[in-house]
Amino acid sequence: MNFLSLIESKREGKTLAPAQIQNFVREFTAGKIPDYQMAAMLMAIYFRGLTTAEITALTLAMRDSGDVLKFPRDKRPLADKHSTGGIGDKVSLPLAPLLACLGFRVPMISGRGLGITGGTLDKLDSIPGFKTLQPAEKIVEQVQKVGCVICGQTDRMVPADKKIYALRDVSGTVPSIPLITASILSKKLAESLDALVLDVKFGCAAFMQTRADARKLAKAMVALGNECGVNTRAILTDMNTPLGRAAGNWLEVKESVACLAPSVLPASRWQIKSSQFCRQDASSTFADLRLLVLDCAAHLLVQTGKARSLVAARKRAEDCLNSGAPRKKWDEMLVAQGANLGAFNKKLALDHTAPVVVELKAEKPGFVSRCDARLIGEIIRDLGGGRLTKESAINYDVGIDRLAKPGEAVRKNSILGRIHAADQSQAQSACARLQAAFEISAMPPRATRLVAEIIASSR
């Protein structure tokens, strides 16, 4: 293969044939194309884009670069959710056991956080004994037996994406819609899914800062997923404010477990029109997190024909969550993945596991009109809760909880957030920075929708 001529073709904006794309993905994965040439191709794609047929060819070639999970025939549909990443976004944790209890099989292959966005695997690593690395046979076995698994990609799954992503990371070619689409969907297609719901975030702490860009990405992924035989939908969700009231690895596991408990919130407040749920309805708990978990489950129920309407599906998902079965399923999943349940429950009972806890208090009464997710993500990363490079070690105990949410009324000295830090000086500097993440105004802010749009088809 003359890869140089393919780079030149793409540089000139020409369309590559599927066979040419398959060839270069195979050759690059096998180490037969040098990084500098592949980086040039990625940059050409970044500027020239790819046609739908080219994105499909790239995605399928990446999927087929390694193991594709093979499941026995079973009446339970295979389903998953993928989020483009945010602050406090722990939806996967309660969602996997909920879906298992709703009669799905959930092979949730997740990733680690990089920069300010959290990663599901990092959160799970804070659970004593929990193993996030499983061989493909074990993933399939656990999904068949327990109904769900949350684990990392094995070395043999989608190796082309691993190599290409690492190169994109250092060649300025990450924010390309065709490349993001192929990267995310190649991994999801390797799970052999029947249905997929994509949570595409927009806002100050999201990959796609504007709703228009998020919509473009969502439409590209929905079109490709459906074309590849997976019933795919996307929801566009607001990531200007953290999801829930806790951010930081262990604190998010705690909040996820709390989310699995039966709710005392009157369902009517947010169940029926949950896609129109407003931040101002946040109440005193983490209603936004629960809402998103139930919404993702509801879409999958509709996508797989298990429910006729979103309203009926949300009710079914909520009843299931309130039955307590998903909380038990969570424990079952933990045990299946090696967790020490006794140690986990002991840890869960602690108010905090970080050595120092400091509260940030409101200086005046009013309404929270801003709680900046980007700033909060940066503070947590700098406390040691995130990574600056792929090699950085993580402190699982640090983070911020008891976050006040936009729309909420506060008095002078109400808690706006509680910082969990490794030492006093880190806690104090985080507290000073956290102050800037909040704005308190005399009037309540305009309500914003958490789920701003549903993209069920690419048109």
Residues at the site binding ligand URA, with contacts judged by CB under 6 A: 165, 179-180, 183-184
Longest dimension (CA), the chain: 69
Rounded to a whole number of angstroms, the minimum distance from the CB of residue 311 to ligand URA is: 32
Catalytic annotation, pick one of 82, 314, 387, 405: 82
Rounded to a whole number of angstroms, the minimum distance from the CB of residue 421 to ligand URA is: 29
Compare residues 158 and 313 and give the one whose CB is closer to ligand URA: 158
Known active-site residue 48:
no
Question: CA angle, 69 as apex, 340 and 157 as ends, to 5°?
Answer: 80
Compare residues 42 and 430 and give the one whose CB is closer to ligand URA: 42
Known active-site residue 168:
yes
Residue 436 burial class via C-beta count within 10 angstroms: exposed 0-12, middle 13-18, buried 19 and up: exposed
Distance CA 389, CA 367 (A): 37
Task: Put the strands of the sheet holding 415-421 in their side by side order.
Answer: 356-361, 415-421, 399-401
Whether residue 298 contacts residue 321, with contact meaning beta carbons closer than 8 Å, is answered with no
Compare residues 179 and 450 and give the one whose CB is closer to ligand URA: 179
Tokens 């802010």: give the residue: 445
Whether residue 203 contacts residue 89, with contact meaning beta carbons closer than 8 Å, is answered with no
Rounded to a whole number of angstroms, the minimum distance from the CB of residue 165 to ligand URA is: 6
Whether residue 390 contacts residue 409, with contact meaning beta carbons closer than 8 Å, is answered with no
Distance CA 78, CA 103 (A): 9
Compare residues 106 and 184 and give the one whose CB is closer to ligand URA: 184
Known active-site residue 82:
yes
The dihedral formed by the CA atoms of 449, 123, 382 and 412, expressed in degrees to the nearest 10: 50
Rounded to a whole number of angstroms, the minimum distance from the CB of residue 105 to ligand URA is: 22
Rounded to a whole number of angstroms, the minimum distance from the CB of residue 181 to ligand URA is: 8
Compare residues 110 and 231 and give the one whose CB is closer to ligand URA: 110
Known active-site residue 187:
yes
Rounded to a whole number of angstroms, the minimum distance from the CB of residue 180 to ligand URA is: 4
User: Strand 231-238 vs strand 195-202: parallel, antiparallel, or unpaired?
Assistant: parallel
Which amino acid belongs to residue 265? L
Catalytic annotation, pick one of 81, 105, 187, 245: 187
Known active-site residue 186:
no
Residue nearest to ligand URA (CB): 183
Comparing CA positions, the residue from 132, 78, 82, 73 lying closest to residue 100 is: 78
Rounded to a whole number of angstroms, the minimum distance from the CB of residue 139 to ligand URA is: 18
Between the alpha carbon of residue 408 and those of residues 367, 405, 440, 442, the distances in Å are 5, 6, 10, 11
Comparing CA positions, the residue from 152, 172, 151 lying closest to residue 162 is: 152
Distance CA 12, CA 9 (A): 5
Catalytic annotation, pick one of 90, 112, 168, 219: 168
Compare residues 181 and 231 and give the one whose CB is closer to ligand URA: 181
Between the alpha carbon of residue 426 and those of residues 382, 429, 432, 433, the distances in Å are 9, 5, 10, 11
Rounded to a whole number of angstroms, the minimum distance from the CB of residue 61 to ligand URA is: 16
CB atoms within 10 A of CB 14: 10
Whether residue 154 contacts residue 136, with contact meaning beta carbons closer than 8 Å, is answered with yes
Compare residues 85 and 407 and give the one whose CB is closer to ligand URA: 85
Compare residues 111 and 407 and give the one whose CB is closer to ligand URA: 111
Catalytic annotation, pick one of 183, 186, 263, 274: 183
* Helical (H) or strand (E) element with 235: strand 231-238
Residue 344 burial class via C-beta count within 10 angstroms: exposed 0-12, middle 13-18, buried 19 and up: buried
Assigned token pair, 229: 């035989």
State the catalytic residues. Answer: 82, 161, 168, 183, 187
